[in-house]
Every structure is written in structure tokens, then in C-alpha cells.
Structure 1
């Protein structure tokens, strides 16, 4: 029974004086972060190929049990009709393997424009992935939420990302992945403080997660800055709630 809880990203200057010391440099953020949380979702890999030296630095700054959930490049997930550069994907996977035991799930976040008529393209992508890594997939078009999609994910042991929408009750793999986004219209997210009290919502989610943990599931969950405005508080609340059970 294991769970990894954290935030979407860690390099935020407006978390200084709260999560980080006031005089901390950005190079020190991850080390401070990893003393409190055991995982983080990496977003910058979505925009560019990660450099080997950067990955090595992340690994050196974090404890042995820390996990990096890594977002797959948009060059793969957002390619027209999911026709992607195979060599680019292979190089991406080769590099992030450098994280070794600290590599958590790889997140494939598909664009809203991609509809379920591209099921075969998704199947081809999943079939091409090495089977020794963990994968999760987030669909942002409602046409995907149906049995053919769920069966495909189950076949390849890929977790359907749960966001609190229609997908929340669907289990397609032994590892589960949660992304708590919040409402960008109501939360600024750049103030470095809680803007909306979400404790009761977090508590309800913790009850669901504990149910999954009792079934032997492995949990990964990450809070956005738009959830309450201050994701370190949300992640800390979730960890405290899970530890009580």
C-alpha cells in the first residue's frame, strides 16, 4: 500500500516565506520541497526535451523514495492525429530512464481536439511503449469516456487520469493517478496563499483514496495552483488525512 502526493511543479518564487525560506534560491527549491512531499508532477518536459544534466540534478537533490511523475512532450501528444516522431519518443524515454527508481508515471495528456475516432492511433502509441514503465493517460474530450477506451487502457495497464469528472470511478490499472485542477476563473494561483477553502473536498477525496489503498492500489496525486490557490497546503492536508487511516 503506497501513495505519492505532491503538487504540479515546484519552482514558484511566490512560495517563498511559506514552503521555502525567504532567502532560498530557485536551485534549492526542489531540495526543500522533497523534505515535505514524496512526489511532484513535472510539467516542463511537455515543452522541451529534458537535458540529462538536469535530470541528474533532480535525482541528486531528492531522497531515495521520491517519485517524479513526468509529462510526455507535446511533440508526441499534440501531434496531428497522434502521428508522432517515433525517434523523439524513444529519446525522451531513454533520457527519463536516468531517474531510475525515482521515475514515477509518465503522463500522456491528450488535447481537447483529439476525439475517440482516433482510438486506433492511441492503441498504436500504447503498443509501442516499453512495458517496464508506468503510464497514465488524460483525455480532455468527453467522447473518450466509454468502454472501448477503458478496455484499451486495461489491456496495456495504463491508468486513466482521474480529475473529478466522469472518469473518477474508472479503474484501468493497478496504479491510479489523480489531478486536482480547480477553477481558473475563481482562483489566481499566483498569490502564494490559500484563496478558497477546499478542505471538505480534499477530505472526501481522501476517503476515496483510502478505499483504493485498502484494495492494494498504488496512488499518485497532484494539486494545481488553481485548486485552492496554494497547492502545498492542499498536498499537506491530503497527506495528513491519508496518514490518519
Structure 2
């Protein structure tokens, strides 16, 4: 996401070399979804660059490749998994959790494959699983069995909250596109570990997005009081204002729990005159 075009020159300096964009993003937010790894395992040199651009306490939630989760459906993917784990080693402590996003066709009948896969994973990492089949949200027995699988290995259940998006018909092209692609699932809030992770998708209208996350701001304040360390990823269909919204969510949590430290001021998108390049 740190290369998202609408942010360049508005939130992030432009032009900016690709190997400096994450560094600039990290002045706005202290966590990022590693979604590109879903499509291909990155070169180790690329991951080394990510590590160089971020502090050791920066959080990467890195998605496992689709060859493991969607194509092989967690079985017979030992070689792909080894390659992926080797590639992300340079992140070190920045690898906050490895994100196992499962397809909507992954049903309660497949829980045995998930349980076996999670048990075989190295304990040197934390794991977070995103489920998209409705049975896990509507059938208490299926939800309970999934929770047992996850808690047995200390893994978290990642909710993807799209309820605000589907509250009323779309009003923009990006919202219409999201309606055709995003899962329509009930909101789920319980945390299984001390590191809950939430993905929230609002609307392109800022106030509707903010109104929709208020229950999460209450939940995050409670989690922090309980000694947990939660991570929130804020999205909108076009993501144009996502950086600003992420910081606004942080401020909403601070309004409920003032002892939470403020985020540092982000680097300006436009360099000062002394820093701007000249011909002479």
C-alpha cells in the first residue's frame, strides 16, 4: 500500500525512489498489511530493503502466498512455505504476524487441514487466520471448533469488517467495485490472543467511515486496558484517505484512553526549499 498512487505528492513526497516510499509511509503509520506477498514470494533483497526502511518496532502483517492457501489449500506446500519463510527472515521482529487468508470456499469440513498446517508451522512466528466462509460466523459450533484450532497453537482470528460498506447501496465507482469483490460477513469482535488484528472497510464518505468504526474504537480501548497490543488496518473502497483515517482512528482510541501515546508527526509530503533539488 505504500506505493498507492493517490498518496504520492499528497501524503507522501513525490517523486520518491521506490526504495524510500516505505520509509515515508512509516512516518504516518506504524503497521502495514503485506498484501503483495499473496501474489508472489518477494526476493530476499526486497525484504532486506523493507527492513532497512523501518524501525524494529514497525509491524508487518505478512500474507502467505496464494499458492499455499488457495491453490494447495494448506497441503503439500512445504517447499513454497520454506521459500516464503526464508524470504521474510530479514524482517526479524518486524514480522508481527504471518497472515493466513483463506478462500471463501474453505469450509468447516476443511478445519482438519488448517489444524495440521498450523501445527507444522515454526513457533518462531505468530500467526493470524482470516476466514471468509459464512458458516464460521453463523453456526456457533463451527465458530467454536475454529476457535479451538486457533487457540491450540496461539493463532489469532482476523475479522474483516465490511458491515458499513454493505449497510446501504454504493454511491461511487469504487464502492460498486468493492460490492462485487469484498466478503459480506457479520462483524466479529472477540480476541483470542494478546495481539488482536482487525481489518476494517468503510465507505468513501469519511464521516460514514468514522461512524462505523466507533464500536471498534471502544473495543480497542478495552483491549488496551486488558494489556493486549491490537493492530487496526483502516480501508475505504478507494483508499484515497486511508493514511489520514488510520491516524484519526488512533486519535479516537486516545480520546477513550488518554494514556495511549500519540503517533509522531508524519514527514511532510513537500520537502522544504533547502531540500528540494536544483539544477545548479
Measured against the shorter chain, the TM-score band is 0.7 to 0.9
Match of 1:151 in 2: 148
Distance of aligned partners of 1:61 and 1:135 in 2 relative to their CA distance in 1, 3 Å threshold: same
What is the alpha-carbon distance in structure 2 between the residues aligned to residue 159 and residue 79 of structure 1?
A: 22
Are residue 168 (structure 1) and residue 188 (structure 2) matched? yes
CA distance in 1, matches of 2:43, 2:91: 12
Aligned pairs for 1:1-245 within 5 A: 9-145=1-137, 146-164=143-161, 165-166=185-186, 168-182=188-202, 187=204, 197-226=208-237, 229-244=240-255, 245=257
Q: Distance in 2 between matches of 1:14 and 1:169?
A: 31
List alignment gaps of at least 5 residues for structure 2: 138-142, 162-184, 258-280
**Unmatched segments (≥5 aa) in structure 1:** 1-8, 188-193
Equivalent residue, structure 1, for 2:166: none
Deviations 1:197-229 (A, max 9, x none): 422223332111010111111211212242764
Q: Report SS of the residue matched to 2:105.
A: coil
State the distance in 2 between where 1:97 and 1:175 align: 20
Deviation at 1:83, TM superposition (A): 2.3
**3-state SS of the aligned residue for 1:50?**
coil
- Name 1:5's counterpart in structure 2: none
**Larger relative CO (CA 8 A, sep 6+): 1 or 2?**
1
The structural deviation recorded for 1:132 is 2.3
TM-score, normalized by length of structure 2? 0.75
Aligned 8 A contact 1:182 1:227 in 2 = no
Q: Give me the CA root mean square deviation.
A: 2.0
Contact 1:182 1:228 in 2 (8 A): no
Structure 1 residue 96: Cα displacement: 1.1
TM-score calculated relative to the size of structure 1: 0.85
Q: 2-side partners of 1:180 and 1:153: how far apart?
A: 21
| Partner Cα distance (2:77, 2:71) in 1 | 9
Distance apart, 1:63 and its partner CA: 2.1
**Secondary structure of the equivalent of 2:188?**
helix
Work out the CA distance in 2 between the residues paired with 1:37 and 1:44. Answer: 18
Distance (whole Å) between structure 1 residues aligned to residue 70 and residue 211 of structure 2: 35
Which is richer in strand? Answer: 1
Assess, with a 3 A threshold, how the Cα gap between structure 1 residues 140 and 214 changes in structure 2: closer, same or farther.
same
Q: Which residue of 2 aligns with 1:4?
A: none
Q: What is the distance in 2 between the residues matched to 1:62 and 1:32?
A: 9
Contact 2:196 2:229 in 1 (8 A): yes
Q: Distance in 2 between matches of 1:61 and 1:173?
A: 28
